[in-house]
Every structure is written in C-alpha cells, then in structure tokens.
Amino acid sequence: MRPVGHTCTRWPATQRNIARDPCDWLVPATGRTDAKLSMPLPAARLMQKDHCVRMDELRQAAIDRLPPPVSEYFNQGSADGITASAAVAAWDNVRFRPRILRDVSVVSTATTVLGRELATPVCVAPTSMHRAAHADGEVATARGAAAAGSLMAVSTNSGRTFEEIGATAAAWWLQCYVLRDRGLTKAIAQRAKAAGASAVVLTADTPVVGRKHNAGKGVWDVVPAGYHMANIDQDGLPDSALDKADDLTPDTISWLREVSGLPVVVKGVLRADDARIVASAGAAAVQVSNHGGRQLDQSVAASDALPEIAAAVQESGAEVYVDGGIRRGEHVLAAIALGARAVFVGRPVLWALTAGGETGQGGSAGVAAVLSQLTAELGHAMALAGARTVSEITSDLVA
Ligand code: FNR
C-alpha cells in the first residue's frame, strides 16, 4: 500500500495537452509604484543598483497576481505547516558578534561552488511550475540567475527543456528525483548533462510526497500539463514510471554519478550521521534542507541542523549548502557563519518571477532583482560584521 499522502505528479490523460495562452491567469501588474516596493539603498557603494524589494511585499504582490491554486502551491507547507512557518524565524533568531575596525572599504561576495566562480553565494533552489508564474518559465529564471552571477538548480519537473535552459548560458545543475523507472532517470540525467548541467542534485527527502491540504482546487486542476516535466516524454509510459523511487540507498549516489558523469549533491540532509554516510558514499556536497517544510512536518529547521552537519563533513571535503526560509542578507550571513558555503532560495524566486523587478512584471528582471537584492544585503551585512570576503564569515561571528 502506498503511504498516505503519496501523490503521482502526472496529470490524467484527459488533461494533458490542454491548449492555453501562456499565463493568461496572471492579473496584470498595474498601479504598483516604486514607492510601494522600494526602499532606500543602504550603503550604495556595496549595493547593486537593482530595484530593492521587501520580501513580504514581493510575496504579497505575487499572491495578488496568481490564481489561488497556484499561489497556494507556491507557498504551502505539508500537513499543518509547522516546519514551513518556523523557517524564517529560525534564521531571525541567530545573533551575531560583529567585528569592528576591520577596514571594510572593499567587500566581496564572490565565491565558488564545486569549482564554479559565482558573484554571490545566493543560488536558486529547484522548484517546479515556473511557467505558472511567467510565460518564459525556467528560461526566465535561468536568465535572471545568470544576470545576478548566480547559479540555478533546475527541477526534474521543469516546464522548459534542458536545451532551452542550456542556451541561456546560465550556470545550472539538474535537480534529480530518482524515479521508479531508473532507465528514465538515467535518460533525464544524461540529457541534462548534454545540455550543460554541471552537477546533479539528488533530492533524497522525497520517497513519498508530503501531504498537503488544498483549500479548493489544487494546482494540478488548473495548470496545463505542458508546464511540468517538459523533459520527459510521457506517451506510452505507465503512471507508475513517474512515481518517485522509495527504495533509494547510499548506493544511489554512486549510481547517479556514474550514469550522469557529474558530481552529485545530496539535498535533504538534516542529520550529522546521514551527512557522514552521504559524504563517504561519494557525494561532492550535502544540502541541508527540509524541502521548504513540504515533506515531513515538524522536521527541524535547516539553521538548527546546519552546524552539526558542517562539522560532520568538514574532513571529507564535501561542500555544504543550505536552503529554507532565507529571506534577507543577514540570513545568508548567518548560514555561512554556521557552516554553509552557499544558500539556495526557493519561494522568493517564484515570487520574483511572478511579480518582481521594477515593473512588477516578474520574469528574468524580477529574478535578477531579488537575487541581487539578497546579495547586496549580504554585502552590507558583511561590512557591518567586519567580514570582507565570504571566507571571513566564520563561526565566531555567531553568538
Ligand atoms: C520546492 N522544492 C523542490 N525541491 C526539489 O528538490 N525539487 C522540486 O521540484 C521542488 N519543487 C518545489 C516547488 C515549490 C513550489 C517549492 C516552494 C519548493 C523545495 C525547494 O528546493 C527548497 O528546498 C525550498 O523551497 C527552500 O525553502 P524556501 O526558500 O522556499 O523557503
């Protein structure tokens, strides 16, 4: 018997190939003034000139534009949403011990992940349904990430093809849900590599999908099939082929590395013992994550799990990333001080894709703006904390 809450992410055959104008459900972005969504640029020399947004206003602007089933899908957590609603406060609760008199006249947010140079440690977490937020979908997100000097993890469920994403010249990784059909999984990974993906993110916290409550219609009732899994030819496949595999083991890491020819990042790690196992099984990196509170409700906050995991893999050389609830530059500073090399943001990118940027029309400009804003806030927080480079953001900065 499938556990409660298991859902197949495939549409019924009757709903596939529904023709529809792209994003014709979006409410036009009108009447938004710069005054409403902007704030003064603090420490302008550290900040990029992008339009600044307050995250809660960006979230509300996205909710105002989207039909309820889509915005519910973007924002919901699993079960009673306890983990999802605690994520931001967990970062807010970190307290700093700032350094003084450190000559912060030059501050750099530049870093590397898996050897790739980036202008920022703020990267794009894998999420699905980008085409529900903007007609250009994941292509717009990739362009926005590239403009901000960031990197994007592209969901297995992407509504745009890997080739289209590869053509943007963005740095990107494939997020991989290992499917019951391993041959299909292998084909997805190899197609992504051929299109330019430089790593595979194995999402390991989803043997079954967390159960979610919908107030009315669900996202699957309103979004056309083509907005999802554009890289999988579903014709002739049994529904079960697309179910997520529930029999993964640490050996899956080496299997995925071999079939893809790419380094593997394991996402969804919340325990030091798992982090050690994953690193010794050949993972190039671990991503501390509770899936944005969308899997096991009442899981620990990523910020609470991060320090023990960073300590556990320190000797192995595996890189450590974190996601979940990161909304401000201070949160990024806290994450790096607690042991992360980079952070990934999920919902803020979806909100920005829907309604970000100077015009409020979202798209690549919106994504670039929110990533640049977080990066600029990080630079500002670094100056205040007395850290000139990302490597100077060390654990002693945290109380
Ligand atoms: C996700 N997440 C996710 N993770 C993954 O590995 N593959 C996926 O396809 C998705 N899809 C997805 C859709 C939506 C709408 C959300 C909100 C999240 C989880 C995601 O990668 C990340 O772990 C969290 O979103 C991080 O939390 P914040 O930044 O959204 O608070």
Per residue in 173-232, pLDDT (tens digit) is 999 999 999 999 999 999 999 999 999 999 999 999 999 999 889 998 899 888 999 999
How much distance in Å is there from the Cα of 72 to the middle of ligand 1? Answer: 13
- In which domain, by residue range, is 284 found? 56-88+112-374
* Position 224 in a domain: yes
Q: pLDDT band for 23, please (50, 70, 90 cuts).
A: low
Q: Which amino acid is at 295?
A: Q
Task: Answer yes or no: is the C-beta of 87 below 6 A from any ligand 1 atom.
Answer: yes
Residues ≥6 apart with Cβ < 8 Å to 378 = 109, 120, 121, 122, 329, 332, 333
* Position 100 in a domain: no
Please give the number of the atom of ligand 1 that sits closest to the Cα of 155.
9
pLDDT at 8 > cutoff 60: no
Q: Smallest Cα–Cα separation from 287: which of 352, 347, 335?
A: 335
Residues ≥6 apart with Cβ < 8 Å to 252 = 178, 202
pLDDT at 37 > cutoff 60: no
Q: Are 65 and 26 in contact (CB under 8 A)?
A: yes
Q: State the average pLDDT over residues 275-297.
A: 98
* Position 231 in a domain: yes
Is 130 part of the annotated catalytic residue set?
A: no
**Inter-residue long-range contacts of 394-397, CB under 8 Å, 24+ positions, other chains counted:** 394/337, 395/307, 395/337, 395/338, 395/339, 396/97, 397/96, 397/97, 397/98, 397/99, 397/333, 397/337
* Position 131 in a domain: yes
Catalytic residue, from 51, 130, 134, 291: name it: 291
The pick from 175, 228, 294 for probing ligand 1's pocket by mutation, whose C-beta has the most ligand atoms within 8 angstroms, reads: 294
The CATH number assigned to the domain holding 128 equals: 3.20.20.70
Task: Answer yes or no: is the C-beta of 347 below 6 A from any ligand 1 atom.
Answer: yes
- Helix, coil or strand: residue 123: strand
* Position 11 in a domain: no
The pick from 9, 127, 288 for probing ligand 1's pocket by mutation, whose C-beta has the most ligand atoms within 8 angstroms, reads: 127
pLDDT in tens, 374-394: 999 999 999 999 999 999 999
Signed CA dihedral, 388, 389, 391, 395: sign only: positive
Radius of gyration of the chain (CA): 20
Q: Which amino acid is at 228?
A: H
Residues ≥6 apart with Cβ < 8 Å to 12 = none
Task: Answer yes or no: is the C-beta of 127 below 6 A from any ligand 1 atom.
Answer: yes
**Nearest CA owner, ligand 1 atom 5:** 126
pLDDT at 38 > cutoff 60: no
* Position 389 in a domain: no
Q: Are 140 and 363 in contact (CB under 8 A)?
A: yes
Task: Answer yes or no: is the C-beta of 59 below 6 A from any ligand 1 atom.
Answer: no
Report the chain's mean pLDDT, rounded to a whole number: 90
Task: Answer yes or no: is the C-beta of 144 below 6 A from any ligand 1 atom.
Answer: no
How much distance in Å is there from the Cα of 346 to the middle of ligand 1? Answer: 5
Q: Are 242 and 7 in contact (CB under 8 A)?
A: no
Task: Answer yes or no: is the C-beta of 76 below 6 A from any ligand 1 atom.
Answer: no
Q: Determine what percent of the chain is predicted with pLDDT higher than 70.
A: 88
Exposure string for 72-83, b = 16+ CB within 10 A, e = fewer: bbbbbbbbebeb
User: 101-110, 141-150, 225-234, 337-346 — which is least confidently predicted?
Assistant: 225-234
Please give the number of the atom of ligand 1 that sits closest to the Cα of 125.
21
- Helix, coil or strand: residue 147: helix
How much distance in Å is there from the Cα of 289 to the middle of ligand 1? Answer: 9
In a 13 Å sphere around the CA of 49, the CA atoms on its Cβ side amount to 0
Q: State the average pLDDT over residues 288-306.
A: 98
- Helix, coil or strand: residue 326: coil
* Position 17 in a domain: no
* Position 21 in a domain: no
For residue 292, give the DSSP letter. Answer: G
Please give the number of the atom of ligand 1 that sits closest to the Cα of 153.
21
Task: Answer yes or no: is the C-beta of 78 below 6 A from any ligand 1 atom.
Answer: no
Q: How many domains does the chain have?
A: 1
